[in-house]
Amino acid sequence: MSFILKFLPILLILLTIQAGAAPFAYITNQGSNSVSVIDVENNQVISTIPVGKAPVGVAVASSLHRVFISNVESQSISVINSTTNQVISEIVLDGSPVGLTLSRDEKTLYVADWFADQVLTIDTANNKMLRSLAVGKAPAGLVESHDGQFLLVANRDSNDVAVINLEQGKVVRRIAVGQHPFGLTLSPNGQVLYVVNVYGNSLSVIDAPFERLSATIAVKDHPYCVALSGDGKTIYVTNTGDDSVSVIDAINRSVTKTITVGSVPEGISYSNKQIYVASWGDNLVSVIDTTSNKLVTSIPTGQQSRAFGQFIAVAAH
Amino acid sequence: MKKLLVLIATALLPLTAAAHGPSPQKVEKEIVIKADPAKVWAMVKDFGGIHKWLPPVASTKVETKGEDTFRTLTLKDGGTILERLKSSDDKDMKLKYEIVEGVLPVTNYNATMTVKAGPGAGETTVVWLARFYRMYTLNPPIPAGQDDESAVKAVTGVFDAGLPNLKKVLEAK
């Protein structure tokens, strides 16, 4: 007991440091075959890491100190050590990886295999393939439900979301959404799934337990990806054809504002009251302050920034 | 037999099929023109007048269907390209359009032409940005002529022919 008491202050300090540590944004640059690492504390690029060809997807495993990058044209996953910002291995796949996501415990990496209509699962302990799960056509964005029961996958060319029961290892239902669903995300409490429909110019809303479509919200031309504010009350959607971000009130599900950002905005993630948007057209990241919902700065990155997926580590949970 | 049926089914897929490769391609070019921005914008936004400055185009025909405006470019070699106007913004001097179908070896082609004052006094900069995918929409291997390189080369050829001539036409006025 006295031992614990003696070390309690140190433990508390360590925990505080852990929780207060500024995370980093990992931006894939398709045309430069690299990843720009942005310190979100000061919005500076602190490192540029060469990866495979045409990198697109990102998944951040903060407890493992690893970042996974999908290189769709070299058909591989680059594994970055986020402590040293160096690629420590490359997982070669017989497939075309696009979307990436991690299980909540970070033990499994899920990879959307664009052409083969399947999701590959990789053991993050040894980078070995575990299994493949058949889904719909051209799987893109994917995310695991907070209870670990389901993997939710946007099938771009099937116009639906596949709900995979992970224990059974198969699709248990498919929920029709708008035309060409691509990016998706869960609300911070895990209770609402948001799916962006590229051709539908809309956002589909699916409430837990992910059985049917709850609502559809119109946005601008060719929307791509979606992120939420930390409190889950505001939704942000990138519109690639309109060079803008739609700001949506998550409670009454209506658009409140449209913010002009760098051209052809693709990936979007939230961190510490700021929204980060990868601009494929202008080779930069636009930063929006979620308090004022105004563009506050632009950070030059590499050629054709995409940053598809949750590219900033979610705050410790 | 099954294989043959698959082959036939694949061949019957329309060329405008929605599926495409995973990596959008980009061509971006800009040029500085010694002319007033308003004058440059007037020529850029003239959706039916692109043949006046884009050398490969022999003629342009504009049609409206409902709320949509289309133009058909007839090229000097006889090929055609059908395009849809997406937006024309006088405040930001930005024109957006997409290719519906045509002879370029691309799919899902979207382009933006932006007109900006500067860099010098009496100068105007035109930026032409295109985002598109290669012709071949299935998995590798990719046939020659339908790959990313061919798509980028074709679009680059159009831009490189167009922008210097846009400058020439406007500066001659």
Find, in chain B, the residue whose alpha carbon is nearest to that of A260.
B92
pLDDT for the residue numbered B140: 76
Chain B interface residues facing chain A, Cβ-Cβ under 8 Å? 18-19, 22-24, 26, 28, 86-87, 96, 110, 112, 129, 131, 138-140
Mean of pLDDT values over B147-166: 96
Residue numbers in A near B140 (CB within 8 A): 96, 115
For chain B, say whether A224 makes contact (Cβ under 8 Å). Answer: no
- On whether the CB atoms of residues B170 and B35 are closer than 8 A, the answer is yes
**Which of B19, B28, B139 is opposite residue A96, by nearest beta carbon?**
B139
Q: Of A176, A190, A153, A159, which Cα lies nearest the Cα of A57?
A: A153
Q: At the topology level of CATH, where does A23-300 sit?
A: Methylamine Dehydrogenase; Chain H (2.130.10)
* The architecture CATH gives domain B23-172: 2-Layer Sandwich (3.30)
Give the CA distances from residue B115 to residues B38, B109, B124, in Å, rounded to whole numbers and listed in that order.
9, 20, 7
Spatial CB neighbours of A261, under 8 Å, sequence gap ≥ 6: A238, A243, A244, A245, A277, A279, A286, A288, A295
Spatial CB neighbours of A66, under 8 Å, sequence gap ≥ 6: A79, A80, A81, A82, A124
What confidence tens digit (pLDDT) does each residue in B26-35 have? Answer: 999 999 999 9
For the CA atoms of B37, B40, B44, B45, the dihedral, rounded to the nearest 10 degrees, stands at 60
What confidence tens digit (pLDDT) does each residue in A110-148 have? Answer: 999 999 999 999 999 999 999 999 999 999 999 999 999
Q: Of A145, A202, A138, A203, which Cα lies nearest the Cα of A172?
A: A145
Of A72, A98, A115, A197, which to mutate for an interface test with B (greatest number of B Cβ within 10 Å)?
A115
Task: Give strand ranges (E) for chain B.
Answer: 25-33, 57-65, 68-75, 80-89, 94-102, 106-117, 124-134
Q: Distance between CA atoms of A184 and A160, rounded to whole angstroms?
A: 12
Mean of pLDDT values over A187-195: 97
The answer to whether A281 contacts B96, with C-beta atoms less than 8 Å apart, is no
Amino acid symbol at A248: I
Q: Of A205, A163, A160, which Cα lies nearest the Cα of A180?
A: A160
For chain B, say whether A37 makes contact (Cβ under 8 Å). Answer: no
Mean of pLDDT values over A153-178: 97
The answer to whether A221 contacts B138, with C-beta atoms less than 8 Å apart, is no
- On whether the CB atoms of residues A128 and A122 are closer than 8 A, the answer is yes
- On whether the CB atoms of residues A255 and A220 are closer than 8 A, the answer is no
The answer to whether B110 contacts A31, with C-beta atoms less than 8 Å apart, is no
The answer to whether A54 contacts B131, with C-beta atoms less than 8 Å apart, is no
Would you say the C-alpha torsion B45, A298, A244, B149 has a positive or negative sign?
positive
Q: Could you tell me the pLDDT band of residue B142, with boundaries at 50, 70 and 90?
A: confident
- On whether the CB atoms of residues B20 and B107 are closer than 8 A, the answer is yes
Find, in chain A, the residue whose alpha carbon is nearest to that of B129.
A281
What confidence tens digit (pLDDT) does each residue in B15-56 have? Answer: 334 456 689 999 999 999 999 999 999 999 999 999 999 999
Q: Is the pLDDT of residue B129 over 70?
A: yes
A253 burial (CB, 10 Å; 0-12 / 13-18 / 19+) is middle
Q: Distance between CA atoms of A156 and A173, rounded to whole angstroms?
A: 16
pTM of the full structure: 0.89
Residue numbers in A near B19 (CB within 8 A): 137-138, 157
Find, in chain B, the residue whose alpha carbon is nearest to that of A114.
B22
Q: Which residue has the tokens 């050398």?
A: B55
Q: Distance between CA atoms of A197 and A219, rounded to whole angstroms?
A: 9
Spatial CB neighbours of B87, under 8 Å, sequence gap ≥ 6: A221, B94, B95, B96
Spatial CB neighbours of A213, under 8 Å, sequence gap ≥ 6: A175, A176, A177, A204, A205, A206
Residue numbers in A near B88 (CB within 8 A): none
> Which range, of A11-15, B70-74, B104-108, averages the lowest pLDDT?
A11-15
Q: Distance between CA atoms of A275 and A294, rounded to whole angstroms?
A: 10
Mean of pLDDT values over A33-49: 97
Distance to chain B for A133, nearest Cα, Å: 18
Residue numbers in A near B24 (CB within 8 A): 30, 280, 304
Residue numbers in A near B127 (CB within 8 A): none
Three-state DSSP class for A253? coil
For the record, the structure tokens of A236 come out as 């942000």
Find, in chain A, the residue whose alpha carbon is nearest to that of B109.
A241
Per DSSP, what are the bridge partners of residue A66?
A: A61, A81
The answer to whether A96 contacts B28, with C-beta atoms less than 8 Å apart, is no
Amino acid symbol at B30: E
Please report, for chain A, the start and end positions of each structural domain, with discontinuous segments joined by +.
23-300
pLDDT for the residue numbered A264: 97
For chain B, say whether A284 makes contact (Cβ under 8 Å). Answer: no
What confidence tens digit (pLDDT) does each residue in A199-253 have? Answer: 999 999 999 999 999 999 999 999 999 999 999 999 999 999 999 999 999 999 9
Q: Which residue has the tokens 């050829």?
A: B157
pLDDT for the residue numbered A313: 86
Please report, for chain B, the start and end positions of each structural domain, with discontinuous segments joined by +.
23-172
Burial A64-101 (b: 16+ CB within 10 A, else e): bebbbbbbbbbbbbbbbebeebebeebbebebbbbbbb
The answer to whether B24 contacts A280, with C-beta atoms less than 8 Å apart, is yes
- On whether the CB atoms of residues B30 and B126 are closer than 8 A, the answer is yes
Of A93, A222, A225, which to mutate for an interface test with B (greatest number of B Cβ within 10 Å)?
A222
Q: Is the pLDDT of residue B149 over 60?
A: yes
The answer to whether A114 contacts B110, with C-beta atoms less than 8 Å apart, is no
The answer to whether B96 contacts A240, with C-beta atoms less than 8 Å apart, is no
The count of other CB atoms within 10 Å of the CB of residue A172 is 13
Q: Is the pLDDT of residue B76 over 80?
A: yes
Of B25, B26, B148, which to mutate for an interface test with A (greatest number of A Cβ within 10 Å)?
B26
